[in-house]
């Protein structure tokens, strides 16, 4: 019912806002005009999402206080952004993208066990294809979510999905927009959200949402009529080396306790070196591969329960070391990069390690002073289970 009402509202906006926008004074974008001032590039948008909590873990499927499947949810987002005008090369490469910040509020219909999450995030959106009034676009965002009712062994023992007070917030969207005038824009899209802490604190099954997104946007200054084509990219190569570190939490069932859900959580260090080669094949894409040498203190970890304490058992060093080879793809946005890698442990992994040999890495990075690299990645397995978070510092050389 709510979706029908909002679609009707959206439909009415399409036909009413052009008339409204005609009554608002506008300024044509021309070189040297005051439209180049920063405030002329501001956009403001409001979003409503309605969808489903995906049944990716037992907590969502019904192993919770209510004993029933967690299904639909509603959420709202408010965003403020900067609409680029093609003044820089990267803006023309991405056909006038927009970037900014937003705030998300979600009602997951389980306030006692999950809470009502709020997220602060940054986003980037750009067109796949733009016509005179219609645009097919994509969007992604990263941020921090809080206001959770996280797992607690005594007070919230079923919530294995969210094990910490704060989690990462990831947003992905594809959609279509329609220009309602020079300043107003309406859009409809499909949105996916992911919440997880990257196994920094356990349990960490995570939550995944899929929804329909209805949005209304206002631009202070209209888009330019034309965008210059970017020059053809010159193929380049680069080599890089990155050192990374972080922590991973592992939990052990406490056999001394008679009540269920009694676990002990222990923190372990992870770190290593990653080196690779990339071929820059376009303004937007790099392809390559490399190797990871990883020290993971949590691998094959074991503990001893004494009367009043829990002690970590000594594990041979060779059981904590692995060597992996990976293929890599990177999406480049000016000095930022979004990386995706698929790797395989070729040495060091033992039969005692329950993780599969195939692993994945997704993350973001930023280039300081052209060649210095900082970033954060999530190492994962089974394509959806976070293993640990890597904080990176490195250097590259291009030719």
Q: What is the pLDDT of residues 102-145, one digit of tens each?
A: 999 999 999 999 999 999 999 999 999 999 899 999 999 999 99
Tokens in use for 56? 């990716």
Domains 36-219 and 236-398 share a fold: yes
- Residues 139 and 124 sit within 8 Å (Cβ to Cβ): yes
Own/partner pairs for 308-316, CB < 8 Å, 24+ apart?
310/252, 310/254, 310/264, 310/266, 312/266
CATH of span 36-219: 2.40.160.20
pLDDT at residue 33, rounded to an integer? 44
- Residue 90 phi/psi, 5° resolution? -65, -30
Q: What is the pLDDT of residues 140-186, one digit of tens each?
A: 999 999 999 999 888 898 999 999 999 999 999 999 999 999 999 99
- Residues 194 and 204 sit within 8 Å (Cβ to Cβ): no
DSSP-assigned letter for residue 133 = S
Q: What pairs with residue 338 in β-bridges?
A: 331, 364
Where do the domains of the chain lie? 36-219, 236-398
Using 50 as the pLDDT threshold, list the residues of the chain that sit under it: 1-35
Rounded CA separation 167/163 (Å): 9
- Residues 392 and 374 sit within 8 Å (Cβ to Cβ): yes
CATH of span 236-398: 2.40.160.20
Listed in sequence order, the residues at least 6 apart from 397 whose beta carbon sits closer than 8 Å to its beta carbon are 238, 239, 240, 371
Rounded CA separation 257/209 (Å): 35
- Residues 90 and 184 sit within 8 Å (Cβ to Cβ): no
**Considering the entire predicted model, what is its pTM?**
0.85
pLDDT at residue 147, rounded to an integer? 97
Q: What pairs with residue 217 in β-bridges?
A: 45, 185
């Amino acid at each position: 019912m709510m979706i029908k009402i909002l679609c009707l509202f959206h439909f009415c906006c399409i036909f009413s806002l052009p008339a409204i926008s005609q009554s608002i004074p506008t300024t044509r974008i021309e070189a040297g005009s005051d439209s180049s001032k920063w405030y002329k590039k501001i956009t403001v948008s409001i979003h409503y999402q309605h969808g489903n909590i995906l049944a990716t873990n037992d907590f969502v499927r019904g192993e919770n206080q209510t004993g029933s499947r967690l299904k639909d949810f509603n959420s709202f987002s408010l965003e403020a952004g900067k609409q680029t005008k093609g003044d820089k090369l990267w803006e023309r490469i991405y056909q006038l993208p927009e970037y900014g910040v937003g705030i998300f509020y979600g009602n997951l219909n389980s306030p006692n066990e999950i809470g009502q999450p709020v997220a602060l995030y940054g986003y980037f959106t750009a067109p796949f294809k733009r016509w005179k009034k219609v645009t097919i676009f994509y969007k992604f965002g990263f941020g921090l979510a809080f206001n959770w009712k996280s797992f607690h062994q005594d007070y919230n023992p079923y919530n294995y999905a969210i094990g910490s007070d704060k989690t990462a917030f990831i947003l992905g969207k594809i959609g279509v927009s329609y220009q309602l005038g020079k300043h107003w824009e309406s859009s409809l899209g499909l949105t996916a959200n992911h919440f997880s802490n990257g196994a920094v604190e356990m349990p960490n099954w995570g939550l995944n949402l899929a929804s329909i997104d209805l949005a209304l946007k206002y631009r202070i200054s209209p888009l330019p009529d034309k965008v210059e084509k970017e020059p053809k990219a010159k193929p380049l190569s680069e080599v890089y080396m990155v050192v990374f570190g972080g922590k991973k939490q592992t939990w052990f069932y406490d056999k001394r306790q008679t009540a269920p859900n009694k676990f002990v959580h222990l923190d372990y260090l992870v770190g290593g070196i990653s080196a690779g080669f990339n071929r820059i094949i376009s303004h937007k894409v790099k392809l390559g591969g490399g190797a990871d040498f990883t020290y993971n203190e949590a691998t094959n970890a074991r503990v001893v329960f004494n009367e009043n304490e829990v002690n970590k058992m000594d594990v041979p060093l060779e059981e904590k070391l692995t060597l992996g080879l990976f293929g890599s793809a990177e999406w480049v946005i000016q000095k930022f990069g979004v990386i995706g890698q698929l790797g395989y442990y070729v040495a060091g992994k033992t039969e005692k390690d329950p993780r599969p040999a195939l692993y994945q890495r997704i993350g973001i990075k930023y280039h300081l002073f052209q060649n210095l690299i900082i970033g954060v990645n999530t190492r994962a397995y089974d394509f959806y289970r976070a293993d640990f978070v890597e904080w990176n510092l490195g250097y590259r050389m291009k030719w």
